[in-house]
Structure 1
Amino acid sequence: MMMILIKKTNIPQLLLLFFLFTSCKGKNDGDYDTAEGANIKKEFALKEGPKLTSEFINNKKAAIDRFYNKNWPNNSMNGGFLVAKNGQIIYEKYEGIANKKTNTAMTSTSALHVASVSKVITATAILKLVDQKKLALDQKVTTLLKGFPYPDVTIETLLNHRSGIRKYSYFTDKKEVWDGHKILTNQDILTLLSSKKITLEYKTNTHFSYCNTNYALLALIIEKVTGQKYKDAMKTIIFKPLGMNDSYVFDYDKDRQTANPSYKGNLVLYGWDFLDAIYGDKNVYSTPRDLLKFDMGRNDLEFFNPALLKKAFTGYSNERQGTRNYGLGMRMINWPTGQNFYFHTGWWHGNTSMYVTLPPEKVTIIALSNKFTRTTYQIKNLAPLFGDYPFDVAKSETEE
C-alpha cells in the first residue's frame, strides 16, 4: 500500500486551500446568492391529485375520442391535443407535420408557437414577482419604464387590459410612425408611445379593450425588475421550476431557422413579418405536456400566494352586463348561475391555440396547431364531460 506522508508544517496551508476551494464551489453554477433567489430557481414539486380509476379513464377516453374524430376527421389535426385530470393524462394525440421543410413529424416534444396563450404565462411571471414584493399590482408603470407617457396606468391595468393604450399593430402600421421594413422590438414600442405622442384610446381603467401592447410592456417590466432578458427570466421563474423542458421564448435573431414554423390551411408556409420579434403577448413556444405542468404548478396554492391566484381568476370588466370577462391574464365566462369557465385562446399567423383550465374539477384541456384552423377552439365543448358547463360536447366546428 502506498502512503503519502505530509509534513506537519504543511497542514495549515492545506486546510486553507481546502477552505478556499469549498467556499468558492457553486459560485459559477448559476445559483442565486440569496435565499429568495434560490427559492425561485429550485424545482417545484408538481403534485398529482387522487389516482383516477381505469373505469373513469376509459369512460372519458371514449367520449373524447368521439369528439376528436368528429372535429379532426381522418387524422387531419396538425398539432397536439391533451386532456388531463388531477395532473394525469387521460387522452393525447400528436399528428401532422411539425416542420414541412425537414419532414419532421409532430410529437409530444414538438414546441409550437402558443400565440396569446403566452399572456397567461407572462401574467403568472408578473404575479410571481408581486408575490416576492418586487412589484405591486397598483404600482404605476411610470416608476418602472423610463419615458412611459401615461401616468395613471398600473401593473394591474396592463394585466386586465384596462390601460386604454392603443394596439401596437395599429399605430405602427402608419408610415409616419414606423417603417414596416424594419423589425419592431418591445423597446421600440415604448419609445414610439412617447416620441410619437400616441394618445390613449380611452381613459385608463374606464373599460376593457384587449390589447397586445399591454403584454409587450409587461415583458419589459419583467426585464427591468429581474435584470434578465425576458426569455431568460421566463426560464428562471416559470419553465425551469415547473420542469417545462421543451418550452422557450422565441428569439427572432437566433431561432428563425430552427423553430417549428406555421402554415396556412393548405400547408403553405407563413412568412415572417415586422411584428414577429415582439414577446410577452406572444412568442412562447411550448407543448401540451409542458402546458399541463404549467397549469398544475400555477394552480397549486404553494406556487404563490393563493390571494394572488384568486385575483387572476377575478373578472375586471363589469361595466357592461354580460358573461364574457377578463382577469389577470385569463379569459373567462361568468354565468348568472355562479358557474365560471376559464380559458385563453391564441392566434398568430398559422398558429392557433387554446388553453382551458377547470380548477374545481382539476381538469386541463389543451390544443395547439401550427396549421391554421379554428377547430382548435372547439375543445371548450369537452368541459361538460367533467362539470356543469353549458356547452354541447356533440358540436363540431362547422355547427358553430
Structure 2
Amino acid sequence: MAFLKINFSLFRCLVASVFCVFLLGCEKSGKKNKLWGADDETKEEIAIPASFTADSVKKLTHQLDSVFRHFHKKRGFNGTVLVTKYDQVIYKNAFGLADFYKKDSLTVETAFQLASVSKQFTAMAIMMLKEDEKLSYDDSVQQYIPEFPYHGITIRQLLTHQSGLSNYTYFSDKLWPNRNQNLTNEDVIKLMVAHRPQPYYPPNTHFDYSNTGYSLLASIVEKVSETPFATFLRERIFEPLEMKHTFTYSPDVATLTGKIATGHTRYRQKRTTDYLDTVLGDKGIYSTVEDLYKWDQALYTQKLVSKETLHEAFTGAILKKKKNQEEDYGFGWRIRPLDNGDTAVYHGGLWHGFSTYLLRNPKEHSALIILSNLPNGSFSYLQELRKFLYPAHPDSTAKSQGPKMATRSRR
C-alpha cells in the first residue's frame, strides 16, 4: 500500500489542542454515564473525567470534522464515520457517494458490507452457543461436521486463526466448477472433503489469518442451533439490539433499493458481486455506523453473553508471537496497545470494494467506526487517527514534529 503524506501542520495543531481532553490520570468527577442502555442493570458504568465537558466535546467534534473533511478533500476518503468517547457519540458524518454511477449521496444510515469486521459477530454466535451449553471451545470440528477431513482442529483454533487451514477463497478458484453458480458454506465443506486442499500449517502451531476457519464456524452455528446462520444472527443479535439496518448478504441484496452502498474499485468503477459472496461467517454482514454503535454499546452489557465470556474474547490467544509483535488476537478481535497505554480491541476488513474499521477502547468506552466503499488507500491515515485520539504523553506530543507516515496494515 502506498505511503500517505499527512498534513503535519494540521495534526500538530489538532493533537496539541486536544490533549487537555485526554490527559491520563485526570481528576475524576464521580459522574456516571447514564446514556444508552441506562435501564439495563448489566451496563458497565464508567467514571467520566471532569475535563470531559460540553465545551471540550464541542471542540473535539469541530477538530474531528476538520480532520475528516481534510481526508475527504485531499485523500479521497469516501464513506461514513462515527466516533464515541465515554459512551457518547461526539462525531458522525458521511462523505461522498453511495454509488458513483447514480450519484447517490452517502448518509450515516447507509449500510456497507463489513467484510472481515463480520468475524466478531460470528465469534459472538459461537460464544452464545457455548453459554447455552450446546458446544465447547475445545470440541473438535468433527463433532459437528463428521465428514470434515482434517483432524486435531478445535473450535477454539478456528476462532483464534490457529487451524492452519488453507484459504477457501483461493482453493475455490481452482476447484469450483462453475463461477456463475454461487458458492455456499456447505459447498466449501464439500470441496474440502472431496479434494483435501493442503493445509498451510499443522493445527495449533502458527497464527495464520483464516477466512476458511470463520466460514466453518458459521456452519457449526447452523448445525448446533438447527437454524440458518443468517437467521440466528438476526434473531439472537440484530433484533434484540435493534440493529434495524443490519443484515447478511444474499443474492437479493443486489435488487434492494434501500440505503446500501455499492462497492467500487480504487478507480471508482462499480465492483460486482461474485460466487464467493454467498459464503458467510468470514464476511457478508451489512451494517451502518449507527447500528455498529449499538453493537459497541451492547458489549458493555451482558445482553448477549456474560462479562466473563466477553473477557475471554478480548484476551490474546496467539501461542507463538513473532519477535517484537505487539498485536494479539482473541475471538474475532485483534488486540493492540495504544500510545496512551490503554489496550484496544479492533478489526478491519477489505472485500469487493469495501474497506471497514471498528476500534474500541474499553477503558474509556470510546470507539472509532469507519466504513468506506472506495478502497483507494485513504485508510492509511488510521495510525495518525489513533495517535490523535489516544496520544502518548503531553510532553512528547508538544515537542513532536508531527506523526510519521503510516502504511495500512494487513487486515
Kindly report which structure 2 residues correspond to 1:181-196, keeping only aligned pairs within 5 A, or say none.
Answer: 181-196=180-195
- The letter of the residue matching 1:288 is V
Taking the aligned partners of 2:206 and 2:339, their CA distance within structure 1 comes to: 21
Measured after TM superposition, the shift of residue 199 of structure 1 is 3.0
**8 Å contact from structure 1 (residues 45, 242) kept in 2:** no
Kindly report which structure 2 residues correspond to 1:243-322, keeping only aligned pairs within 5 A, or say none.
Answer: 243-252=242-251, 254-258=252-256, 259-301=260-302, 303-319=304-320, 320-321=322-323, 322=325
Change (3 A) 1:185 1:214: same
Change (3 A) 1:270 1:394: farther
- The letter of the residue matching 1:286 is S
Q: 1:329 aligns with which of 311, 332, 346?
A: 332
Measured after TM superposition, the shift of residue 71 of structure 1 is 2.2
Kindly report which structure 2 residues correspond to 1:47-196, keeping only aligned pairs within 5 A, or say none.
Answer: 53-73=53-73, 76-174=76-174, 176=175, 178-196=177-195
**8 Å contact from structure 1 (residues 76, 95) kept in 2:** no
Q: Give the gaps of 5 or more residues in structure 1.
A: 1-42
Which residue number corresponds to residue 23 of structure 1?
A: none
Kindly report which structure 2 residues correspond to 1:168-247, keeping only aligned pairs within 5 A, or say none.
Answer: 168-174=168-174, 176=175, 178-247=177-246
Identity score, percent: 30
Measured after TM superposition, the shift of residue 45 of structure 1 is 8.5
Measured after TM superposition, the shift of residue 94 of structure 1 is 0.9
Q: Does 1:381 align with 2:384?
A: yes
Give TM-score scaled by structure 1 length: 0.81
Q: CA deviation digits over 1:264-317, x for unaligned, max 9?
A: 223211122221211111110000111111011123245412222111111122
1:172 partner SS: helix
Taking the aligned partners of 1:264 and 1:396, their CA distance within structure 2 comes to: 27
Taking the aligned partners of 1:277 and 1:118, their CA distance within structure 2 comes to: 13
**Which of 1 and 2 has greater Rg?**
1
**8 Å contact from structure 2 (residues 339, 390) kept in 1:** no
- The letter of the residue matching 1:355 is L
Measured after TM superposition, the shift of residue 393 of structure 1 is 12
Taking the aligned partners of 1:267 and 1:393, their CA distance within structure 2 comes to: 35
Q: CA deviation digits over 1:36-67, x for unaligned, max 9?
A: xxxxxxx9789586686312312322332232
Taking the aligned partners of 2:392 and 2:312, their CA distance within structure 1 comes to: 22
Q: CA deviation digits over 1:332-385, x for unaligned, max 9?
A: 224899742321010012100000011001001100011223323534533345
Compare relative contact order (CA 8 Å, sep 6+) and give the higher one, 1 or 2. Answer: 2
2:291 partner SS: helix
**8 Å contact from structure 2 (residues 338, 390) kept in 1:** no
Give TM-score scaled by structure 2 length: 0.79
1:256 partner SS: helix
Change (3 A) 1:385 1:395: closer
Taking the aligned partners of 2:405 and 2:184, their CA distance within structure 1 comes to: 36
Q: Give the gaps of 5 or more residues in structure 2.
A: 1-38
Measured after TM superposition, the shift of residue 115 of structure 1 is 0.7
Taking the aligned partners of 1:190 and 1:44, their CA distance within structure 2 comes to: 41
Taking the aligned partners of 1:389 and 1:318, their CA distance within structure 2 comes to: 28
**8 Å contact from structure 1 (residues 46, 296) kept in 2:** no
Which residue number corresponds to residue 26 of structure 1?
A: none
Taking the aligned partners of 1:355 and 1:75, their CA distance within structure 2 comes to: 20
